[in-house]
Amino acid sequence: MNQNIRNIAIIAHVDHGKTTLVDQLLKDGGAYRANQAVQERAMDSMALEKEKGITIKAKNTSVHWGDKIINILDTPGHADFGGEVERALRMVDGVLLLVDAYDGPQAQTRFVLRKALAHGLKVIIVINKIDRDNADPAKMYDKVLELLMELNATEEQFDAPVVYGSGRDGYMMYKLGDQKENMAPLFHTIINHIPPPFAKPDDPFHMLVSNIDWSDYVGRIAVGKILGGSVKVGDPVFVLRHAEGGKKVRSKITKIFEFTGLGQREVAEAHAGNIVGLSGFEDVDIGDTLDVRDDAHALPFQQIDPPTLEMQFSVNDGPLVGQEGKLVTSRQLRERLMRELKINVSIQIEDAPDKAGTFNVKARGAMQVAVLVETMRREGYELLVSRPTVIEKRGPNGERLEPYETVWIEVPDECVGSIMQNLANRKGQLTNMEKMPHSTMIEATITTRGLIGLEIDVVNATSGRGVTSHLFKEYGPYAGELLTRITGTLIATEAGETTAYALIMCQERGRLFVSPGEQVYEGMIIGENPRNEDIVVNAVREKKLTNFRSQGEGVATGLTPATKMSLERCIEYIAADELLEVTPKSLRLRKRILNSGERQKARKAGKAAE
């Protein structure tokens, strides 16, 4: 065992302060020079992470405390990115379980803690945000102990040490009421309670690849914990390919990276127990084994939870294709999706059997797919995205099964009625209701189908005050037809540029999604009809001129501003016969079949088939 190293992951529910705590550990561990500006949420390096305020990818860093190196993995809290958490736990020997002193253990706390206990990891409980109004740290500590009992923790795991404090304000305490000074109590607890990494320094070098990094200079970097021996630059190694049944590929180590503070540094040699990055491989994937022995066996790679949602990505075949994005062909789309497959273990991608230029993408949730689509549009891609559908299974007797999730919704008391009605429409079964000081916590079991779009409904019904979290529960019997969208659409009949004159007439039929001066085409959805039927409208009609009236007079008055939806909202909004066109600058909703006559023919053919 390497006595000078500790490997820990920070796990928690979304928004409980993981990344902010890492900031403080970096600061107190000397990652910044005396005159260096301290970054906020330094670990959230992706632009999307900074904008959304969430962590999407698990990331490595390390801090030096005395003569000890503490390798830290910051993990996502959102359920859709659970694959990142499961992978990170393979590299560490203990976890900091972060719990908000006001909210207490939540849905994702349960998920990540269950995984950590199953790996046999040591736990340190950190009750964070004790400076919040109405915080009750002692009660929340009791709730964590209840959760540990519920998850069948061993006696040793149940006796986990606890520290209280505020990651934002930079202090931790062994007991409530102690002096508020610095992060030292947490550092001491990590050193004393988390064991040094279990590794065999006298064995030949071997390592399991738990993460993949990319550098424009050296290509793919395999990240993992060295389980035995040591490795030097220039050493020959074998890559045992997990995806190809343990096929051996000879390679040579060209660079070794250690994680320090906010970056990486090159070293000549790395030893058992440390988490490092290695380069020099033609191709290496998560789950592969690196070993110096000719007769080596592949290390076991634990399968992660399977995806529950499926969507189709296809080539943009709309009339405005190629006007805003440069990457529009099926080959470019395929290459990009296959690249994503190599670095993201929790999604699956395959060619659609019945349509050329269409790919089936399976993922954990709509948020995970939305992040992929948003990343691609920023890279210059144009594509069409379908509505998410759930991945069904067949039971032992051939019965139809679909995924169910447990959902927790915290809402203001006056909004409980409308949320309960919404859950009933989606065939959700209420399992528990708890009154909290300023809100009500509703717990229900609902199908994954019924969950699509629920979060947006909760935000709308509670004016942004409702908080939703969910967790995969099990596969259960098919729940029948669900009503998740009760409105119809307004569909453009003509191509061209929208005019204020035409839109004023259109808005009498419903809520508009487009403003004057936007390009539309036949079959594009330009608004929402309150009734559950589609209406075709002309959004490009111009006002006829006469001798008495000027073209602009009295036109703009009375036009309501258009509703603009986010990418996640668009994905959850579209119906089965609709698609979302995504380009670097625009999000357009459209029908799968653009021509009105052909749509009616397809509808009649569908009814006849029934």
Please give the CATH superfamily to which domain 206-291 belongs. Translation factors (2.40.30.10)
Report the C-alpha gap between 580 and 591 in whole angstroms: 9
pLDDT for the residue 41? 42
Position 548 scores a pLDDT of 56
Residue with tokens 């203001």: 412
**C-alpha of 328 from chain center:** 25
The predicted structure's pLDDT at residue 603:
85
Confidence at residue 2, expressed as pLDDT on a 0 to 100 scale: 61
Four-residue CA torsion sign, 350, 351, 355, 361: positive
Q: Where are the domains of the chain?
A: 5-193, 206-291, 393-477, 488-578+588-609
Contacts of 53 (CB under 8 A, 6+ apart): 15, 41
Element spanning 258, H or E: strand 255-260
- The fold adopted by the segment(s) 488-578+588-609 is OB fold (Dihydrolipoamide Acetyltransferase, E2P) (2.40.50)
In terms of Cα–Cα distance, which of 178, 153, 183 is closest to 21? 183
* pLDDT given for residue 524 in this prediction: 95
Give the contacts of 277 (CB within 8 A, at least 6 positions apart).
213, 221, 222, 223, 256, 257, 259, 264
Q: What pLDDT, in 10s, does the model give residues 487-499?
A: 889 999 999 999 9
- pLDDT of 319 reads 93
> What's the half-sphere exposure (Cβ side, CA atoms, 13 Å) at 570?
26
CATH of domain 393-477: 3.30.70.240
Which pLDDT tens digit goes with each residue over 168-198? 888 888 888 888 888 888 888 989 998 888 7
Query: What is the reported pLDDT for 401?
Result: 92
Neighbours of 243 (CB within 10 A): 12
Annotate 265-290 with DSSP letters as a single string.
Answer: EEESEEETT-EEEEE--SS--TT-EE
Which residues in 548-563 are b (16+ Cβ under 10 Å) and which e? eeeeeeebeeebeebe
Measure the CA–CA gap between 60 and 262, rounded to whole angstroms.
9
pLDDT of residue 491: 94
Whole-number Å distance between alpha carbons of 77 and 99: 12
Return d(Cα 73, Cα 223) in angstroms, integer.
12
Q: Which residues of the chain have pLDDT under 50?
A: 31-46, 49-50, 55
pLDDT value of residue 477: 92
Q: E strands of 20-177, at which residues?
A: 59-65, 68-74, 94-100, 122-128, 162-166, 171-173
- CATH superfamily, region 5-193: P-loop containing nucleotide triphosphate hydrolases (3.40.50.300)
- CB–CB of 540/494 below 8 Å? yes
The one-letter code for the residue type at 253 is I
Cα–Cα–Cα angle for 455, 456, 462, nearest 5°?
90
